[in-house]
A and B are shown apart, each in its own frame.
Chain A
Amino acid sequence: GESVGLHLPTLSVQEGDNSIINCAYSNSASDYFIWYKQESGKGPQFIIDIRSNMDKRQGQRVTVLLNKTVKHLSLQIAATQPGDSAVYFCAENKDYKLSFGAGTTVTVRA
C-alpha cells in the first residue's frame, strides 16, 4: 500500500552542525507535506509545510526540500541546538487526513 516513510530511525548530530532528515513517500498524488516535531510526552508540533508545486521552502533555521521526481522530502535544520532533540515526522496530507511516517529520533550531542 502507499505510505510515507523515513530513511533512518535515528540521527545523532553535534550541536552547531546542520541536520538533514529524510523521508520517502510513495503516493504520487500527494500535494501537501508537513514536518512535525514531537518531544517526549507532547503532541506533534508543526514545523514547516510544503506544497507539491514548490521544491523548497524556508522557515526559521529550517528548510524543507521536495523532490517529486524521486518522491523524496527532507528537512534541514541549521545550527542544531539541544532543544532540537526530538522525534521528527513527515506527514502527507491527503484530503486533510494526515498520514505519518515512522519518525526519526534526533539526538543532539553537546
Chain B
Amino acid sequence: EPEVTQTPSHQVTQMGQEVILRCVPISNHLYFYWYRQILGQKVEFLVSFYNNEISEKSEIFDDQFSVERPDGSNFTLKIRSTKLEDSAMYFCASRAGPFTDTQYFGPGTRLTVL
C-alpha cells in the first residue's frame, strides 16, 4: 500500500540553525500539507501546497518557514532560523486530487531545538 514517507525520523539542531525536513508524498498525489504537533498538544495545520505554490498557510507559518517541491517526488519544509518553540513533531500529508478529501499522513519528523 502506498504511503507517505518522511526523513529524518528525528532531527536535533541548535537554535538559530536551518533545518530541512523531507517528505515523499504518495505517488500521483497532487496536494501536499505540513502539520505540526507540539508535545501533548493538538495537531496544527501549517501550510498546503498545490501546483508548485502555497495554497494556504496558517499564522504559524511565518517568514522563517518555506516549502518547496524540488523535484517530482520530494516535498520539503525549511525552517531558516530555528527557535526553541519550533520543537515538535512535523507531519507531512498528501491528498490525491480535487475530488478526494482524505489526507494521508507520514510518520513524522521529531524536531528538537536545543
Contacts and interface: CB of A to CB of B under 8 A. Distances in A.
Interface of A: 32, 34, 36, 41-46, 49, 89, 91, 93, 95-103
B91 A44 contact: yes
Given A49-B101, A96-B101, A98-B33, 17 more contacts: A34-B101, A43-B105, A44-B43, A44-B91, A46-B102, A46-B103, A46-B104, A46-B105, A49-B102, A96-B31, A96-B103, A97-B45, A97-B48, A98-B35, A98-B103, A100-B42, A102-B42
B43 A98 contact: yes
Nearest to A95: B56
A100 B44 contact: yes
Nearest to A42: B107
B35 to A, nearest CB: 7
Contact of B106 (A43, A89, A98): A43
B104 A42 contact: no
22 contacts: A32-B101, A34-B101, A34-B102, A42-B107, A42-B108, A43-B6, A43-B107, A43-B108, A46-B104, A49-B101, A49-B102, A89-B42, A93-B101, A96-B95, A98-B45, A98-B103, A99-B45, A100-B42, A100-B43, A101-B42, A102-B42, A103-B42
